[in-house]
Structure 1
Amino acid sequence: MQGRTLVFILLLGSSINCTAEVYRWVDKDGKVHFTDKPPAADAENITKQVNKQNLDTSREELNKVQQLHLQEAQAQRQQRQHAQEISASEAYARGANCTAAKNRLRRISGNVIFLDDQGKVVKTTEQERQAMVAELTTYIDNNCN
């Protein structure tokens, strides 16, 4: 970011220091020409008019550009920080989910009796239990280290 600003300042400074005269002349057919070298004695020197139109010596525009660069850099820092915060919270949530899945897998391996929230036995076939084990194993393989 600082490199861009430096290049911009150098280009701006070099364009201010460039001095070239600009001439306007009309040929015998009435065609208007512009050149940096006087082709004839009757060529009109319009350098001062061109300089007035193309030269801005104020620092206001440079300050505006620098302010925009600063705002852009700050926005990028905030985006990176936000992405890091999201990554950290996602990693924490993923770790908690993995721990829960591993604990559940350990509890339903082998002979097990399933109880509901009231403590009553829930009848579950061996195929259903094996399907739960397969689902948890797949989840752990895909989401946990």
Structure 2
Amino acid sequence: MNTRYWQKLIVVFLLSGGISAQAEMYRWVDDSGQVHYEDRQKGAKFRPIKPYSTPDTTQPAPQERMEKTRRLLNAYRIERQQKHEQQAEQKAKQEKRIKNCNRARDNVRRYNAYRRIYNLDKEGNRVYLSDQERASLLQRSQKKVTRWCS
């Protein structure tokens, strides 16, 4: 058989499928109360059946979608910024703690190593601390070590 014939047959077949999809269905009830469904209307008792409507699946407007995206990105940016600020604050606190710990440990070592500790007065003269003052400074420095180094 020739290919022209098959092409025409396929076109007719495809077009007939579209026609049947356009057909309406009718519902009717007989005298005994039985419900029947048919594709042809035969009497006045028939009423057409409306096909189920599909849910509205329209996409949001591009402007609305862009606005939602912008708000989401803005929220992510703010969250990231807050996280960086918290990390910077924690890092600063950690550095301060380490600095104070080192200073307190140095003071404890110095007060233990030297018997004679002095301060300079306003005129630049040495004023030596008594053993009681040195012990008091040592005790305060040890408390600072406990506070900053633990």
Q: Provide the TM-score with structure 2 as the length reference.
A: 0.51
> 1:111 aligns to what SS in structure 2?
coil
Residue 130 of structure 1 aligns with which residue? Answer: 135
Compute the displacement of 1:77 (Å).
Answer: 0.7
| 1:58 corresponds to | 61
| Cα distance between partner residues in 1 of 2:63 and 2:116 | 77
CA-CA distance at 1:87 after TM superposition? 1.8
Quick one: distance in 2 between partners of 1:74 and 1:108? 51
- Are 1:113 and 2:108 an aligned pair? no
Q: 1 CA distance for matches of 2:80 and 2:99?
A: 29
Check if 1:141 corresponds to 2:108: no
Query: Corresponding residue for 1:11?
Result: none
Alignment of 1:10-21 (within 5 A): none
TM-superposed CA distance for 1:129, in Å, is 1.7
> Percent identity among equivalent residues?
22
Q: Distance in 2 between matches of 1:120 and 1:107?
A: 20
Moved more, 118-127 or 102-111: 118-127
Is the 8 Å Cα contact of residues 95 and 144 (structure 1) preserved in structure 2? Answer: yes
Q: Which runs of 5+ in 1 are unaligned?
A: 1-50
Quote how far apart the aligned CAs of 1:57 are: 4.3
Offset, 1:56: 8.7
Alpha-carbon distance in 2 for matches of 1:108, 1:120 = 20
For the 8 Å contact 2:97–2:149, the answer to whether it is kept is yes
**1:13-60 CA distances to partner (integer Å, 9 max, x unpaired)?**
xxxxxxxxxxxxxxxxxxxxxxxxxxxxxxxxxxxxxx9xxx994232
Greater Cα radius of gyration, structure 1 or 2: 2
Match of 1:92 in 2: 95
Give 1:128 deviation, angstroms.
Answer: 2.0
Asked whether the equivalents of residues 113 and 121 of structure 1 are also in contact (C-alpha less than 8 Å), the reply is no
Secondary structure, aligned partner of 1:115: strand
Deviations 1:111-143 (A, max 9, x none): 222131776321323222222111111111111
| Structure 2: gaps spanning 5 or more residues | 1-55
Higher relative contact order, chain-length normalized (CA < 8 Å, sep 6+)? 1
* 1:98 and 1:140 in contact (8 A); partners too: yes
Give the Cα separation in 2 of the matches to 1:102 and 1:64: 57
